[in-house]
Amino acid sequence: MSHTVAPLKIGDIQIWPPLVLAPMSGVTNRTMRALYRPFGFGLTVTEFVSSNALAYGSRRTMEMIDQHGLEKPVSTQLWGDDPQTMAAAAKVVRECGADIVDINFGCPAPKVTKTNGGSACLRDVDRCEAIMKAVVDAVDCPVTMKMRLGWTQDDLVYVDVAKRAQRAGVQAVTLHARTAKQFYKGSADWEHITRLKQAIEIPVIGNGDLDDAQTAMARMRESGVDAIMIGRGALGNPWLVSQIRDLMEGRAVAPVPSAAERLGFCIVHYRTMVDELGEQRAVPQMRKHVALYLKGIAGAAHVRERIMRIDTAAQAIAVIEETIERVAGAAQVAA
């Protein structure tokens, strides 16, 4: 097999393929990560967790950093605005099995930024540096950091923060090429990612608008990044990850599965969530996942509407099975 890109090295950890699953709140729980990892992710990252919640021993937060033991390596992402609290949290997640501790300077969600966490930290680069130094000093594993370009377009601090990260001992940086104020509007500007790669010596992971395998590989080659991080583009479509891995390993891209096959995997996802979380928690969480698996399928809007009104797993799975029969029958007629 002829690899077309090099493995990602973070400290003494070698990662193949250099494909990272982005941390997404309420989405990348351990069930989803275990289901998606075999499609080709070399590294998975937990949902981002509050350092303050860990300090208080929150049961829900401890669940968020839990793993199956199937993810090696796995990174746990922390957010907060106090260096010592972040350092203490880093020690906890390291003891709980994190191979890498990741610092969140990227989340733009108001529930995080209203307490000066996530991307709000970019308004105070000295505080960013203090947090990074404290976390690096606290743990015996690699520390990485994810950020946005800056808080606003008028204050792009990403190169400054990345250079401070390198001096502090952070061993890789991920850049989502939007500002905090953009949220997910507009397009990610990969020219900034290219600029960052040229500015620092530690590995750079590029993130933003990677929803096509050929585009993802073009972005990687053009920017020179050491790895790419896939987030929203993989939701409901883990086969995108397989296609990117195909290209990284010098193979022809595997075809996209049929609509019926995609929905068949959706049922696997649904049943696994119910088995692990229980029906009461799994049903509302799976509504958004089912909607994503339905994307592009004829009649999807009507099916999504039905799923939103359903309160039991059995009913939801029955609707999905009914949809599988419908789209498979339509495909046979078309053939």
Q: Indicate which CATH number applies to the domain containing 56.
A: 3.20.20.70
Q: What is the DSSP string of 88-140?
A: HHHHHHHHTT-SEEEEEE----HHHHTTT-GGGGGG-HHHHHHHHHHHHHH-S
Out of 248, 279, 295, a domain closes at 248
Using one digit for the tens of pLDDT, what is the confidence trace for 104-138? 999 999 999 999 999 999 999 999 999 999 999 99
Angle, vertex CA 81, rays to CA 80 and CA 87, nearest 5: 70
Using one digit for the tens of pLDDT, what is the confidence trace for 253-287? 999 899 999 999 999 999 999 999 999 999 999 99
**What is residue 72's predicted lDDT score, i.e. its pLDDT?**
85
Mean pLDDT value of segment 83-93 = 95
Which pairing describes strands 74-79 and 204-207: parallel, antiparallel, or unpaired?
Answer: unpaired
Q: Domain check: are 186 and 316 in the same one?
A: no
158: pLDDT strictly greater than 60: yes
Using one digit for the tens of pLDDT, what is the confidence trace for 143-156? 999 999 999 999 99
**What is residue 58's predicted lDDT score, i.e. its pLDDT?**
63
Q: Domain check: are 25 and 150 in the same one?
A: yes
**What is residue 292's predicted lDDT score, i.e. its pLDDT?**
95
Query: DSSP secondary-structure letter at 296?
Result: T
Q: Is residue 254 part of a domain?
A: no
Could you tell me how many residues make up the chain? 335
335: pLDDT strictly greater than 90: no
Q: Domain check: are 86 and 123 in the same one?
A: yes
Q: Is residue 124 part of a domain?
A: yes
Mean pLDDT value of segment 174-186 = 95
Q: Domain check: are 180 and 43 in the same one?
A: yes
Using one digit for the tens of pLDDT, what is the confidence trace for 216-235? 999 999 999 999 999 999 99
**Above pLDDT 90, what percent of the chain?**
85
84: pLDDT strictly greater than 70: yes
Q: Domain check: are 140 and 196 in the same one?
A: yes
The whole domain housing 16 covers 8-248
Helix (H, G, I), strand (E, B) or coil at 230: strand
**What is residue 33's predicted lDDT score, i.e. its pLDDT?**
92
Q: Domain check: are 106 and 235 in the same one?
A: yes
Out of 224, 248, 272, a domain closes at 248
- Active-site amino acid positions: 107
69: pLDDT strictly greater than 70: no
Q: What rounded mean pLDDT belongs to the chain?
A: 93
Q: Domain check: are 242 and 263 in the same one?
A: no
Q: Domain check: are 166 and 119 in the same one?
A: yes
Q: Is 0.75 surpassed by the pTM of this model? A: yes
Residues whose CB falls within 8 Å of the CB of residue 203, separated by 6 or more in sequence, listed in order: 8, 9, 10, 171, 172, 173, 226, 227
**What is residue 330's predicted lDDT score, i.e. its pLDDT?**
76
Q: Is residue 3 part of a domain?
A: no
Which CATH number does the domain housing residue 325 bear? 1.10.1200.80
Contact 104, 111 (CB under 8 A): no
Domain total in the chain:
2
**What is residue 188's predicted lDDT score, i.e. its pLDDT?**
94
Instruction: Please report the beta strands in the chain, taking only residues with DSSP state E, as ranges in sequence order.
Output: 8-10, 13-15, 19-21, 43-45, 49-50, 74-79, 100-105, 143-148, 172-176, 204-207, 227-230
**What is residue 60's predicted lDDT score, i.e. its pLDDT?**
66
**What is residue 25's predicted lDDT score, i.e. its pLDDT?**
85
What confidence category does residue 59 fall into, taking pLDDT thresholds of 50, 70 and 90?
Answer: low
**What is residue 61's predicted lDDT score, i.e. its pLDDT?**
66
Using one digit for the tens of pLDDT, what is the confidence trace for 27-56? 888 899 999 999 999 999 988 888 988 877
**What is residue 70's predicted lDDT score, i.e. its pLDDT?**
66
**Above pLDDT 70, what percent of the chain?**
94
Q: Is residue 14 part of a domain?
A: yes
Out of 248, 269, 286, a domain closes at 248
What confidence category does residue 333 fall into, taking pLDDT thresholds of 50, 70 and 90?
Answer: low
Mean pLDDT value of segment 291-311 = 94
**What is residue 65's predicted lDDT score, i.e. its pLDDT?**
67
**What is residue 91's predicted lDDT score, i.e. its pLDDT?**
95
26: pLDDT strictly greater than 90: no
